[in-house]
Copies of this chain bind each other. A is one copy, B any other.
């Protein structure tokens, strides 16, 4: 993975992790309201999608765009399609 993409994905995932901490703390309180928790979970999912986009872009540029030259297009595309299936 390109170093730049790796660092940016790490930063985004670390932020998501801190956010997840705050949701676990929210759930410690008995009077927490369900919809507030739903919103926070959704925000973390958005952050994870953002990190996934950084990794995906790096992969497309580095590994997929050069596949024809290496001769492994079918394997690379099959692998990516499987990884994208449940994004």
Which residues in A have some Cβ–Cβ distance to B below 8 Å? Answer: 1, 3, 5-6, 9-10, 13-14, 16-17, 20-21, 23-24, 27-28, 30, 32-35, 37-39, 41-42, 44-46, 48-49, 51-53, 55-69, 73-74, 76-77, 79-81, 83-87
Contact = CB atoms under 8 A, between A and B. Distances in A.
A5 B77 CA distance: 14
Contacts of A51: 41
A60 B63 CA distance: 11
| Main SS class of interface, A | helix
Contact of A68 (B16, B69, B81): B69
A72 to B, nearest CB: 9
A24 to B, nearest CB: 5
A17 B6 contact: no
Nearest to A16: B20
